[in-house]
Amino acid sequence: MEEALRYAGVGLVATAALTWLAADEARAIRSARVAGVLALALLALWFGAVIWVAPIERAQGIVQKIFYVHVPCAPVAYLGFVMTAVGGIGFLWRRDAHWDRVAISSAEVGVLFCTLILVTGPIWAKPVWNHWWVWDLRLTSTLVLWFIYAAYLFLRTLSSGTDEARAFASIYGILGTAAIPFVFFAVDLAQGKTLHPSNPAREGLPASMLVPLLLGFVAFACVFWYLFARRLEVAKLEARQS
């Protein structure tokens, strides 16, 4: 419980920071440079740590190193989806197209990271579980989450750039976030058990594994920040052109 609260707290801080940044579009776009430099530096550090610091796990071998890519993707993807809802609420409240651009930019980058989770997971699972996929709580709910936000992106490509279409998409983005707890609960009910390893902190990782993992979280968050800011810039240019 305490751990869940800690995760929620970090998520809330990240969402608040990103919301503050996104509130001023020019500021968000300007921040891309800082984010890019930070992301590059941190990615280099993270990569070095994964290669040289992190040990080769005894039971699973080299394939365990996917962990350092797979796990940091998850909170970043969630952040993208929460920001989609934030952008949606912002648009419905203020009727300012800039919030809609925030929503679509974060949804796109969120889906990218969610795709990475879904790709790296099976690559690890095949040698370790001997299956590419099992219908387990985490896997299934992540897949459904991916479908929800892929549908959101599909909705965006099909609808025209009117305020009506923006309101549609905003509501769907909010619906998606509201549905996440139910999806999680429903899948839990349908499976009743999970094969997926529990959250890393619970297992008491040694420092040689914890450091690359934490670096991964921060580096991927910066990558998200950078891609989000650049995508926002593209969206703004598109809006100016049309």
Partner 1 sequence: MNGPRVALAVLRKDLLVDLRSRDRLGHMLIFAALVVVLISIVLRTSAADARGALLPLLWIAFLFTSLLGLARSFQAETEDGAWTNLILVPVDRGWVFLGKAGANLLALLVVEAWTALLAVIFLDVDWTRAPGAALLAGVLGAIGLSTLGTLLSALSASARFREFLLPILLFPLILPVLVFAADITGEAIAGRALAERSAGALALYDWVFLLIGYLGFDSLVEA
Contact set with partner 1 (CB under 8 A): 92, 95, 144, 147-148, 151, 154-155, 158-159, 162-168, 170-172, 174-176, 178-179, 182-183, 185-187, 189-190
159 or 199, CB closer to partner 1?
159
Instruction: Compare residues 17 and 190 and give the one whose CB is closer to partner 1.
Output: 190
Instruction: For residue 239, give both structure tokens.
Output: 């809006």
Minimum CB separation of residue 141 from partner 1 in Å reads 9
**Alpha helical stretches, state H, 24-160:** 25-48, 67-94, 97-129, 137-158
For the bound state, the minimum distance from the C-beta of residue 59 to partner 1, rounded and expressed in Å, comes to 34
Query: Minimum distance between the CB of residue 70 and partner 1, rounded to whole angstroms?
Result: 22
| Dihedral pair phi/psi, residue 55, rounded to 5° | -75, 160
The rounded Cα 89 to chain-centroid distance in angstroms is 19
Q: What is the DSSP letter of 61?
A: B
Measured CA to CA in angstroms, residue 126 lies from 123, 138, 193 at distances of: 6, 16, 19
What's the min distance (Å) between Cβ of 31 and partner 1?
A: 30
For partner 1, the closer CB: 148 or 213: 148
Q: What's the closest the beta carbon of residue 7 comes to partner 1, in angstroms?
A: 22
The residue among 149 and 228 lying less far from partner 1, judged by its C-beta, is 149
22: nearest Cα among 79, 97, 87: 87
Q: Minimum distance between the CB of residue 231 and partner 1, rounded to whole angstroms?
A: 22
Using N-to-C axis directions, what is the helix angle for 97-129 and 207-241, rounded to 10°? 140
CB atoms within 10 A of CB 105: 26
Task: Give the dihedral sign, CA 7/9/15/21.
Answer: negative
Q: Evaluate whether 68 touches 42 at the Cβ level (below 8 Å).
A: no
Smaller CB distance to partner 1: residue 92 or 210?
A: 92
| Residue (88 or 212) nearer to partner 1, CB | 88
3-state secondary structure of 131: coil
